[in-house]
Chain A
C-alpha cells in the first residue's frame, strides 16, 4: 500500500472538522495542500505586542495572527489567519503590520493571490489608535494589491466573526465566503445595545444576531459571494471557486458596486427585519431560512440571488 493511500482518508477526515472550532493554525494546515505552509515571522521570533504589558495582559508569540505562504491545489498563495481566541482576534500594531507586509509583497509580485481567514472583533482597545491605523493601512494595501491584479479572498467562519474594522477590510476584498456562524458587521450586538438601548437591539437574542449579521443573511443580500458549510473542506472548495471566478478591480467595479448598493437601499431600505428582506427577495418560506441545513440553503440562495462577481 502506498503512503498516499494511507494518508488520503485521514486528510479527508481532518478536513471534515468544524472550521468554527478549529484553531487558526489548524485552519491553515488543513486548508492548504499538506505540508506546504511556510510561516513568516512565526512564534519562534516572539514578535509580541509591545503594548499589552502596560495593561498586565498576557502576550502571544504570534500576536494572534499567522501569516505565510503555501500551495492551494498546486498553486502558490499567501495566507493569513487570525486567532479569534486571543484577544478576540483584534487588530493591534504588530498583528496588523504582519498582514500589511504580506499584502504589499502580493502587490509587487502581482501573480500570487491572498487568502485571509478573518476571526476578529475589530480594533484591540488596549492599542486602539495603532489598531485603527493598522486597519486603515491594510485597507489601502488590499486596494493597491487588487489594482495590481491580485485576488484577495476572505473566509469568514470563526468564533469572533468579522466585526468593526474587520468588516471594512472584508468589504475591500475581491470576494468572500461565509458560514452561518461567520457574522459580518461593523457595530457588534453589544455595542448597538450599549449605545442605543435594548429596544434597538437585544444582544442576548441570538436568533436576532444570526439573522441580522450571520452568513445566511449576508449571502442573501449579496454581502458575501458564497455560503459555506462549517467544515474546513467546504471553505477550501469555496476558496478555490472564488480564486477561479473572481474578476479584476477598477473604476467599472466601483461603479457597479455603487449601483448594487443603491439598488439594495431602494429595495430593502424600509425593511425592519431580515425576514422581511428575504420575503421581498421572494424566498417562499422566509421564516424557515435560519433552520435550513447548509446544502438546502445553498440551493435556495442560488435560486434567489445570482451574485454579481464584478461589483465589489
Chain B
C-alpha cells in the first residue's frame, strides 16, 4: 500500500503530513475530531542523525502542545551506516527518539506504530518498536537481519537458513514472524477504511504497559521471555 493511499484512508477528514527526503512530519484529523501527530520514515530511507533529530523534535513539540495520540509510520532502511553518523553519536540520537516516544506514551499521549514497508535494526528500535502498539499492514516487510548477512555470520548457506526458518519464527525476516513473537500486535486489512480500524484501536488501547512478551507467549513465538522476566522480577522484589 502506498503512503498516499494510507494517509488518505487513515485521515479522510484531512492531514498535512509532508514527506521531506524520507522524513514524515505533520498531523491528521481523527474521527473524534482530535488531531494526531504523525511522524515517520518513508521511501525506505536510512535513519541517521539528521533524520532522527527532526523526528524527536516533533515528538517533544507535541508533548508541549498537549494531548492526542502519536502515529509513527514506517518504511525505512536500517540505521544509516556511515562514519559521520557514528562519529556524531548515532546511538544517542536513536535512543533519544525512542525515549521521547516512550515518555510521550507514559505521559498520556498514546503511541501507535504503523509498519507499511521495510524496517531493520537500529531504525526499527528507534521508531516502530518504541511505540505501545505496533500495527502491520499486509505490505510490511520487516527484517531485523537479512538472510544474506545472517548467512555470512553464521557461515550457513541461505537455503539451510530458509529451511530452518520453517520451524521457528525466531530469526527469519517477515511480518508474520514478528506477529508470532509479539512485536507486531495486529495486522490491519488494507481493503477497508484505516480510519475505522484506527478509531477502534484508539478505543481499546489499554494501559501504557509493555505486554509484548506475554503476547509472544500466547502466540507461541517466544515461549521463555515472559516467564524468565517474571521470575527475575519476583526474585528481585524480595530485595530489601
Which of A's residues lie within 8 Å of B, judged by CB? 40-41, 47, 50-51, 54-55, 67, 69, 76, 78, 93-94, 96-98, 100-102, 104-106, 108-109, 112, 123, 125-137, 139-141, 143-144, 147, 164-165, 167-172, 184-187, 191-192, 194-196, 200-201, 212-213, 217-218, 221, 223, 250-251, 254-255, 257-258, 261-262, 264-265, 268-269, 271-274, 277, 312
Separation of A256 and B57 alpha carbons in the complex (Å)? 11
Contact among B64, B225, B236 with A105 in the assembled complex (CB-CB below 8 Å): B236
Contact among B92, B103, B172 with A254 in the assembled complex (CB-CB below 8 Å): B103
**B38 close to chain A: CB less than 8 A:** no
Question: In the complex, how many angstroms separate the beta carbon of A201 from the nearest chain B beta carbon?
Answer: 5
Is the beta-carbon distance between A101 and B170 smaller than 8 angstroms? no
* A-B contact list, 19 entries, CB within 8 Å: A40-B231, A67-B232, A78-B239, A101-B231, A102-B232, A102-B236, A106-B236, A108-B233, A108-B237, A112-B239, A126-B154, A129-B171, A133-B222, A133-B225, A186-B94, A186-B121, A194-B149, A261-B92, A273-B87
Is the beta-carbon distance between A51 and B50 smaller than 8 angstroms? no
Q: Is the interface of A mostly helix, strand, loop or mixed?
A: helix
Is the beta-carbon distance between A264 and B153 smaller than 8 angstroms? no
Q: A98-B229, A172-B95, A251-B63 are in contact. Are A51 and B102 (CB under 8 A)?
A: no
Which of B's residues lie within 8 Å of A, judged by CB? 49-50, 53, 56-57, 60, 63-64, 79, 81-96, 98-100, 102-103, 106-107, 121-122, 124-126, 129-130, 144-145, 149-150, 152-154, 156, 164, 167-172, 177-178, 181-183, 210, 212-213, 216, 222-226, 228-237, 239-240
Is the beta-carbon distance between A97 and B213 smaller than 8 angstroms? yes
Is the beta-carbon distance between A171 and B96 smaller than 8 angstroms? yes
Counting chain B CB atoms within 10 Å of each CB, which of A67, A139, A186 scores highest? A186
Is the beta-carbon distance between A192 and B92 smaller than 8 angstroms? no
Is the beta-carbon distance between A139 and B95 smaller than 8 angstroms? yes
Contact among A96, A105, A130, A185 with B86 in the assembled complex (CB-CB below 8 Å): A185
Q: A69-B239, A192-B82 are in contact. Are A101 and B91 (CB under 8 A)?
A: no
Is the beta-carbon distance between B181 and A200 smaller than 8 angstroms? no
Is the beta-carbon distance between B86 and A186 smaller than 8 angstroms? yes
- Return the 3 tightest CB-CB contacts between A and B, nearest first: A171-B95, A101-B232, A167-B91
Given the complex, which residues of B lie within 8 Å of A273, measured CB to CB? Answer: 87
Contact among A51, A55, A171, A201 with B91 in the assembled complex (CB-CB below 8 Å): A171
Separation of A140 and B211 alpha carbons in the complex (Å)? 11
Is the beta-carbon distance between B95 and A93 smaller than 8 angstroms? no
Question: In the complex, how many angstroms separate the beta carbon of B81 from the nearest chain A beta carbon?
Answer: 4
Given the complex, which residues of A lie within 8 Å of B122, measured CB to CB? Answer: 164-165, 167-168, 186-187
Given the complex, which residues of A lie within 8 Å of B124, measured CB to CB? Answer: 132
Is the beta-carbon distance between A129 and B169 smaller than 8 angstroms? yes
Q: How many contacting A-B pairs (Cβ < 8 A)?
A: 276
Q: A97-B224, A258-B56, A261-B93 are in contact. Are A125 and B88 (CB under 8 A)?
A: no
Given the complex, which residues of A lie within 8 Å of B235, measured CB to CB? Answer: 40-41, 105
Given the complex, which residues of A lie within 8 Å of B177, measured CB to CB? Answer: 129
Is the beta-carbon distance between A265 and B88 smaller than 8 angstroms? yes
Contact among A69, A132, A141 with B210 in the assembled complex (CB-CB below 8 Å): A141
Is the beta-carbon distance between A262 and B53 smaller than 8 angstroms? yes
Is the beta-carbon distance between A139 and B130 smaller than 8 angstroms? yes
Contact among A170, A185, A191 with B95 in the assembled complex (CB-CB below 8 Å): A170
Is the beta-carbon distance between A186 and B79 smaller than 8 angstroms? yes
By beta carbon, the residue of chain A nearest B229 is A101
Contact among B94, B170, B234, B240 with A168 in the assembled complex (CB-CB below 8 Å): B94
Given the complex, which residues of A lie within 8 Å of B103, measured CB to CB? Answer: 143, 147, 250-251, 254
Contact among B87, B150, B181 with A212 in the assembled complex (CB-CB below 8 Å): B87
Separation of A271 and B85 alpha carbons in the complex (Å)? 11
Is the beta-carbon distance between B145 and A97 smaller than 8 angstroms? no
Q: A170-B95, A251-B103 are in contact. Are A139 and B125 (CB under 8 A)?
A: yes
Separation of A97 and B232 alpha carbons in the complex (Å)? 9
Beyond the given pairs A97-B224, A130-B170, 17 more chain A to chain B contacts, judged by CB atoms under 8 angstroms and listed by A's residue number, are A40-B236, A78-B236, A93-B224, A96-B225, A129-B172, A129-B177, A132-B183, A133-B225, A147-B106, A171-B94, A185-B91, A187-B81, A187-B86, A212-B87, A261-B53, A274-B87, A277-B87
Is the beta-carbon distance between A133 and B229 smaller than 8 angstroms? no
